[in-house]
Structure formats: C-alpha cells, structure tokens
Amino acid sequence: MLVFLFFSILLTGFTQFKNIASELNLIQLAFFPLSNRISSISSLYHLDSDFDFDDIQRNFQNRAFVNAIENLNPRIFNQSLSRAIADAKISLNQQNLDLLKLPINRLEKIIEQLIKHHDQYVVVIGDIVTELRQNNVKSAENKKDLLLEKKRNVKSHLNFLSTRVNDLTKRSIQEIVRNERKAVFIIAILSLITFIIAIVIGLVSILALRPLQNLKETAKEIAEGHLDMRVPIVSQDEVGDLSREFNKMAESIQERDFILRSQQKQLVESQKMAVIGQMASRISHEIRNPLNALSLNIELLEEAITDKKLKSLINAVSTEIDRLNRISIQYLDMARTPKGETIEIDVGKILTHLKVLFEPECQKQNISCEFDISDNLPRLKMNPTGLEQALINLCRNAIEVVGSDGHWGVNARRDDDQVIISVWDKGTGIPEENQQKIFEPFFTTKDKGTGLGLAITNEIIRELNGVLTCESKKEVGTTFTIRLPV
C-alpha cells in the first residue's frame, strides 16, 4: 500500500509539473511571438512621431518618405498580425488548452478592428499624398483632422492590443504560479497523508504482531519448563482466539505435567517404601530374635538378683530393649501396610472410638482434646484397619507435639464427593523448610523419633486412594488433613 501511495505521489507530481511545463510552453509559443510582432509593428510605423499632416506635406516628394509610405501596405500589416494570432491558435490546439481560447478569440477581434482602422489610416495618407501631388493643398488640409483621427484610432487599438496581450501573458504566468503552488500543496498533502498512513500501518503492525510475539515468547518459556506462563488476551479477533486456545493447551500441558510428576513421585515413593519395607522387615526379624532372647534373660536376672543397684541397671537395660522392640515393630509396620478386607465403614464411629482411646492419656497429662464430628458423614468402602492405624499415628503425633497442658483436636465433615478429616494441634509448628520433607522415611525432628510414623501414615492413606496434606505455621500449630473419596 505504501508503495502504491509513493508511486501515486510521483505520478501526481509528474502530471502537475508536466501541465505547468505545457502552460509555460504555451506562453513561449503563443504570447511571446504575438507580443514581439506588436512591438515590431509599433517600431515599423513610427506611430508616435511620423506620418502626421505636416510630415507628409514636408516630405511627400522625398524618395525615402515615399518608400516608408509604401511600407504601410495593409497586406503586409494584415499578414504580420494574422500570422501571429494564427500561431497562437495552433499552439492552443496542440496543447489542448481550451481555457485560453476565449482570450485569444477576443484578441483576434481586436486585431480585426486594428487592421480596419489601419487600412482607413493608410487610405487617408494616400489621399493626402495624391492631393498634394496635384497641388490641391486646400483639399489636402481638409483631410488633416481625418488623418489625425485615423492615426489616433490605430494608436489606441495598437496600444489596447499590446495591453491585452501583456495582461493575458501576466494572468497566464500568475495562473501557472498558482498551479505550481497547488501542485506543491497537493504533493505535500499526499506526502503528509502517506506519512500518517505509514505511521498508522506501523502502529497497527506493531499492535497486530505484539500478540504473536507474546505467543512466541510464551511458547519459548513453556518449552523451557515454565508451564505456568500464559498469553495475555488483548483482542477478540483471530489472534485472540489463537491465544485462548494456546492458553488452554498450556493449561492441559501443565495439568498433565502435574499428574505425571505426581504419579512419578508416588511411584518413586512407593518403590522407596517397598525397598525400605523389605530392608526393615529383614532387619526387624534379625533384631527381634536376639531382643527376645535378651528380654527373657533379663527377666531371669531380675528374679535372681536382689542387689538394688544392679537391679536398677538391669531395669535400664530392659527399658532400652523394649524401645528397640517398639522400633522393630514400626519397621515391620512399614514393611506390611495394612491390606485387610474392604468393607463399608462408619467413619464417625471410628473417630468416636479414637476419642475414647485417647481421653485417659490426655486427662493424665492435662491435655485438652476436641472432637468435632459431623452427623452427615457417609459410609466409606475401604480397609478400616488401615484408616484407623493412620488416624492413631496422627493423633499420637499431635499428643507428643503439644505435651502437657497442650491442646489438640479432630474435625470431620463431608465436602461434596469427599470426606475431610483434620487432625490439628496448637504446638510449635513445623519450620517451612521442613514441611516438604515430613513424609519422607527416616526424617524426624524429635530426639527419640524414628522418622517412620508420617511416612507410614502417608503410604496408608495413598493405599486408600486418599490424599494427606500438611499446613503448619511456626508457633501457631499444625493441621494434617486427610481427603477420602466417597
């Protein structure tokens, strides 16, 4: 489009200046020759000083004067002016300039009148010369006023013709100047319009290409792994539709990536738990046999020894053996995630049982315990042993965290197609940097912890097709939330 406008400006400028050149050529071919002919005629006939009555009376027998009179031949005068006006008409016809044909026609009429008065003037001169040659001076003097009148007529028409030619030439030049200014103005306007259109096209191109550039950059970001990037939608046209579809595709990719990462993480954790479980099972069996033997021998020693000092040492050894035995049991629990029979269970009933189970221990340590169980909890089809074990682990963990005079509780409710069970405590909270590690095996911040409780609980909930999450704020408390499908 810009190229078209550029060539249009060139063509317009060329046409305008060509017309100006044609008009200048017209003046050169028509008016200047006509003006020169008029000047030549004025010079030839000496109309300002010659051929008055006294001049004729004084010189009518002079050969040079006679020759000058003969040069006033009307045929020569007529041919000179007629040729000039004819040349001007030919130039007008060649240039196809109808605008100046009317002024030329008017000049032609003035020339006709001039020729008429010139012919009459020449006739009067001839009559006076004839009368003088016949010595009829009186008769010749009677024509003196007529001669003066005809001479004035010729002079006035010749001056009028010269003035009209000069005026016409001047007006033509002024018209050419106006046309030139008009051409320059038109070219300037077209150039300005082209410049404005170029700016508009540039801005439109930038605005039109910016979404595509954003689309390109976003696609590059997504290719580099930033799947949360989206293209801003700034229009309702095809580019806007493309951006929306691209965002849908990006969301789909992000969702699939999240699912794949989650599945991969679950697979890795399951494999890790399986390997750890196998190792734990083997180690536990290897440890428990010697521990059982040690425990029996310690009991025999306790019965045989009466010394109080030795008996206290044996009691300390017995306590550590019991602790090792509990650890080995936890290892075995990891090795064999509960896989009991799947039946319909009453979640509210299980939670009520847990309340009864932990109330004595809480009362003993002066711990406040709250159970908020909704009445509309649905029955779930799953392994009750697994769910109960997971809840016991979480409740036990809450009691250990809050300690004496602490505060913890359990909330249970239905939310659409899932049951949400929250075990919360008002303990010290979990540091933010540790919250991503709490479900990893052997990770613990407790002095006597094994780091297996939450790992086992998470694995149990996963086996129940549920999700276990943790929210914690330091010095505020922690909430573990189980989401089970209905």
| Ordered per-residue pLDDT tens for the chain, 486 residues | 555 555 565 566 556 556 666 666 666 555 666 666 666 666 655 544 456 677 777 777 776 666 666 666 655 566 666 666 666 666 655 555 554 555 667 777 877 887 788 788 888 888 888 888 888 888 888 888 888 888 888 788 778 877 877 777 777 777 777 777 887 788 788 788 888 888 888 887 777 677 777 777 888 888 887 777 887 777 777 777 777 887 888 888 888 887 888 777 766 666 665 666 566 666 666 676 777 777 777 777 777 777 777 777 788 778 777 777 776 766 666 555 555 678 889 999 999 999 998 998 899 999 999 999 998 899 998 888 889 989 998 999 999 899 889 999 999 999 988 999 999 999 989 888 888 888 887 777 766 666 777 888 888 898 889 999 999 998 889 999 999 998
| 385 plus 481 within the same structural domain | yes
| 169 plus 239 within the same structural domain | no
The 8 Å CB, 24+ separation contacts for 320-326 are: 321/291, 321/294, 321/295, 322/295, 323/448, 324/287, 324/291, 325/288, 325/291, 325/295
| CATH number of the domain residue 125 falls in | 1.20.120
| 442 plus 466 within the same structural domain | yes
Residue the block writes with tokens 């406040």: 368
| CATH number of the domain residue 403 falls in | 3.30.565.10
Instruction: Give residue 170's pLDDT.
Output: 77
Quick check: is 213 in a domain?
A: no
| CATH number of the domain residue 303 falls in | 1.10.287
| 332 plus 353 within the same structural domain | no
Number of independent structural domains in the chain:
3
| 100 plus 74 within the same structural domain | yes
| 27 plus 166 within the same structural domain | yes
Quick check: is 477 in a domain?
A: yes
| 460 plus 404 within the same structural domain | yes
| 327 plus 415 within the same structural domain | no
- Pick the closest to residue 146 from 128, 134, 164 (CA basis): 128
Instruction: Give residue 48's pLDDT.
Output: 44
Instruction: Give residue 421's pLDDT.
Output: 95
- Pick the closest to residue 110 from 47, 150, 151, 160 (CA basis): 160
| 330 plus 375 within the same structural domain | no
Among 303, 318, 336, residue at a domain's last position:
336
Among 310, 336, 362, residue at a domain's last position:
336
Return the structure tokens found at 84. 């000039």
| 173 plus 253 within the same structural domain | no
DSSP H helices, 336-383, are 347-364
Quick check: is 218 in a domain?
A: no
Q: Secondary structure of 119-172 in the HEC alphabet?
A: HHHHHHHHHHHHHHHCCCHHHHHHCHHHHHHHHHHHHHHHHHHHHHHHHHHHHH
| 299 plus 413 within the same structural domain | no
Domain that holds residue 328: 235-336
| 349 plus 275 within the same structural domain | no
Return the structure tokens found at 123. 């006739």
Residue the block writes with tokens 């046999």: 289
